[in-house]
Amino acid sequence: MAPIRPAEEAERCPQPSLSEEQEASEYLVARCKKIRTSDYMLFSSDALVHIASDSKASEKYTWLGERLRLTFKMMRSDSRLIRTMCHSHGLMQCSSKNPQVNVIWMGAPVKSVKMRELMPWQRLNQFPRSTELTKKDRLYENIERSKSIFGEAYDFIPEFYVTPRENQKMEIAFDRVLKEVTAAGGELCFPGEFIVKPTNSRQGKGIFFANSMADIPAEGPLLVSRYLKDPYLVNNHKFDLRIYVAVTSFYPLVAYVYSEGLARLASRPYDTSASSADSNEYVHLTNYSINKNSTSFVRNESMSSEDLGHKWTLGALLRYVENEGKDAKLLMLRIEDLIVKSLLSIQNSVATASRTTLRFACTNFELFGFDVLVDQALKPWLLEVNLSPSLACDAPLDSLLKTRLIADLLNLACVPLLDKKIIDSVTPALRKSMNASQDSETSDPDELELDPKCAKTLKRRPVGLKRSVLTKKIVSGNTSLIPNTEKKFDQIVRKVELEEGRRGDFIRVFPRNGTWGMYSPVMEDLGSDDFDERLFAEVITKKNMKNSSEQIATSSSSSSSSHSTFSSSAFSSMRIEEVSDLFHDVMMECSKYPSLADVPIEVREIISPWYEEASEYTKKITQDGETYASKLPTIRSTARLRTKSCAEFYEVRKVQMAKKKEAEAAAAKENEPVVLQAVAAKRVV
Ligand SMILES: Nc1ncnc2c1ncn2[C@@H]1O[C@H](COP(=O)(O)OP(=O)(O)OP(=O)(O)O)[C@@H](O)[C@H]1O
């Protein structure tokens, strides 16, 4: 069944009439009834259409958040999109110090002590230790580690070294490359055989090229990686892909890829022979933040053309690839594969940290921005993974895509609908329980009980949310407040099932039909819990069994078999481990298997449903005849709900920002324009 988009869900309720008050109140009653059947907030990009005008229409999105007094806070982030989305759904922004908040949006790594304080109804956009993925050197080292354990299945990052600790190895690599190139009668690549990046920089800052140790400065750490000099070109321009990935659980792993993404093109044609040094950055780096400064950069101001200028949609790029006679959907399966493997490479670290850090299941979710470079054989290479990828809406297509992305992401996060009164009354008891369980590590957390006073308060049910999961649990009395590992697992299973109807344009890539068989041989053993295997059994196998028994019941003549099992005749002569080996070979060897037709039948049978689903990536993101808002709305002041302390903070901040801008403008006048230099001139920025 196709997932219900929140907008559709909202549309099922009667529309409020602007003229007749009675009709409006009937609408609210109907909406109220509808919402009570759900325990979680529904976010919709449509809400943003109405928030700018003082119209009644926006009430249908804001009234519930306002009535329950839901709140959000933003820390080390000032994303206008997140603020607009939350305000459009009636959430009030509170100060960064407020602990009683529903949604926390962090733009930088969160300390584990903060995560320990998370309450079951709170949602935080980060997992502990996910920086293992988002710090460049850690990402590369983690994948390299998996490669050393599981072999070529993890061959999707360029050869790399981290300075200064791998200087010796790097010197040998420089010599080796020089010998290889001269033996082949060629010349070292322009602008360099290696690309060098500070491990914690962003937006292309500090990048330069190197051909020998003499080009590497002593200070570090720097990530020196092999420059992929044969990129797939679009109209003779290099590009990279920004793929959005949501993770709602690391152990068991539950990962989604957004079907809409971006392709960022270099603003000058690709050329490795020689070129004027001052254009290098616009030829070899595809960062939007760099190329937007190029005189050749063309901004896409149109909503109807997805392939105009130097920032395209992912779908437009894939359609271009298809028009060139290549298998774009197989490319996307390979990208999904490298995403799953990157997440698996840090699963152990995150799971270990989560065990001691996260008291409740389902409180965390995370959005990653995967940057992928595609080479001429159509092999995707992972360049880096971004923590809190840019949500700036600089172009009409940007704002359309990112607004939907954030609405769908927050729906996956499942923000509980819980009145502030309930939260306020439960919190002290829950905190007491959490502290108690922390003090006595050996005691069984299941023994902890809620203060009877609290249960009594809850029984009054201030807004009648009697189906709220949390309320139900606490009111029922003798239940645990801090779930043990098994209970957490059950909650995750239920949430994954719930996510299926709330995923919008996200495609679940793990777990899905066939993933356990294909990936378990390249996954680390995380202990006797076997959560990944058990989740697969709960969410995939059981569903398949149900579907096949329904199929048998409805059509006795049906002979089709499930893709998740290996009962097909094609597998009769092959063991599952052999099919898995073949699968990873197919994922890595792009020249050997350029299209689905070249993929051996054993693997094809498994990936065919994934391949069909990959059609979602190639679709246009707008529909002909429909109109869309081309930029983020300015929220009307009455809807910009902020707590007093938060409003004061913003006043101070406004003054600080104005001062900072003035200082920057003065500094910019003094500085020379910065350009990327080739190897000879070395440093950038
Ligand atoms: N190994 C490589 N081979 C070829 N090109 C590369 C390689 N590594 C990086 N690039 C190019 O350099 C650009 C910047 O690299 P990268 O994304 O790793 O840096 P960044 O500064 O972290 O960028 P951002 O955070 O804005 O995504 C890439 O978009 C890509 O075009």
Q: Give the integer Cα–Cα distance in Å for 326 and 379.
A: 12
pLDDT of residue 549: 75
pLDDT of residue 352: 94
Cα of 197 from ligand 1 centre, angstroms:
8
Is the per-residue pLDDT at 668 higher than 90?
Answer: no
Q: What is the pLDDT of residues 195-253, one digit of tens each?
A: 999 988 778 888 999 999 999 998 879 999 999 999 999 999 999 999 999 999 999 99
pLDDT of residue 495: 93
Cα of 316 from ligand 1 centre, angstroms:
21
How is residue 91 annotated by DSSP?
Answer: P
Least confident of 125-139, 367-381, 432-446, 628-642: 432-446
Is the per-residue pLDDT at 654 higher than 80?
Answer: yes
Q: Which residue has the CA at smallest separation from atom 10 of ligand 1?
A: 285
**Which residue in 34, 35, 11, 13 sits closest to 24, CA to CA?**
13
Q: First-to-last CA distance in the chain?
A: 51
Mean pLDDT of 289-306: 86
ipTM confidence score: 0.98
pLDDT of residue 636: 78
Q: Which residue has the CA at smallest separation from atom 30 of ligand 1?
A: 285
| Average of per-residue pLDDT values in the chain | 83
Supply the DSSP string of 567-635, one letter for each residue: -SGGGTTS-HHHHHHHHHHHHH-TTT--SGGGS-HHHHHHHHHHHHHTHHHHS-SS-TT----SSPPPP
Which of the given ranges, 22-36, 70-84, 328-342, has the highest pLDDT on average?
Answer: 328-342
Question: Among the atoms of ligand 1, which is closest to the Cα of residue 203?
Answer: 26
Mean pLDDT of 174-191: 90
Q: What is the pLDDT of residues 469-489, one digit of tens each?
A: 444 455 444 444 677 888 889
Which of the given ranges, 170-174, 389-393, 435-439, 544-548, has the highest pLDDT on average?
Answer: 170-174
pLDDT of residue 12: 39
**For residues 509 and 553, which has the higher predicted lDDT (pLDDT)?**
509
pLDDT of residue 5: 45
Q: Give the integer Cα–Cα distance in Å for 109 and 133.
A: 12
Mean pLDDT of 6-19: 41
Mean pLDDT of 267-285: 79
Antiparallel, parallel or unpaired: β 103-106 and 123-124: parallel
Is the per-residue pLDDT at 613 higher than 80?
Answer: yes
Mean pLDDT of 564-574: 53
Is the per-residue pLDDT at 339 higher than 90?
Answer: yes
Question: Among the atoms of ligand 1, which is closest to the Cα of residue 231?
Answer: 4
Q: Which residue has the CA at smallest separation from atom 29 of ligand 1?
A: 286
Q: Which residue has the CA at smallest separation from atom 11 of ligand 1?
A: 285
Confidence of residue 574 (pLDDT cuts 50, 70, 90): confident
Please give the structure tokens belonging to residue 499.
């996510």
Antiparallel, parallel or unpaired: β 380-387 and 366-374: antiparallel
pLDDT of residue 17: 39
Which of the given ranges, 72-81, 97-106, 342-351, 396-405, has the highest pLDDT on average?
Answer: 342-351
Measured from CB, residues less than 6 Å from any atom of ligand 1 are 158, 195, 197, 201-205, 207, 225, 227-228, 240, 285-287, 289, 371, 373, 383-384, 386
**Which residue in 588, 587, 592 sits closest to 606, CA to CA?**
587
Is the per-residue pLDDT at 38 higher than 60?
Answer: no
pLDDT of residue 433: 74
**For residues 182 and 456, which has the higher predicted lDDT (pLDDT)?**
182
Cα of 202 from ligand 1 centre, angstroms:
9
Q: Are 535 and 496 in contact (CB under 8 A)?
A: yes
Cα of 383 from ligand 1 centre, angstroms:
6
Q: Are 335 and 374 in contact (CB under 8 A)?
A: no
Please give the structure tokens belonging to residue 567.
């009962």
Confidence of residue 351 (pLDDT cuts 50, 70, 90): very high
pLDDT of residue 555: 63
**Which residue in 593, 586, 601, 509 sits closest to 326, CA to CA?**
593
Mean pLDDT of 567-571: 47
Q: What is the pTM of this model?
A: 0.85
Q: Give the integer Cα–Cα distance in Å for 209 and 232.
A: 20
Least confident of 66-70, 110-114, 394-398, 454-458: 454-458
Q: Give the integer Cα–Cα distance in Å for 75 and 599.
A: 47
Q: Which of 156, 371, 379 to mutate to test the pocket of ligand 1 (most atoms within 8 A of CB)?
A: 371
266: number of Cβ within 10 Å: 28
**What percentage of residues in the chain have a pLDDT greater than 90?**
53
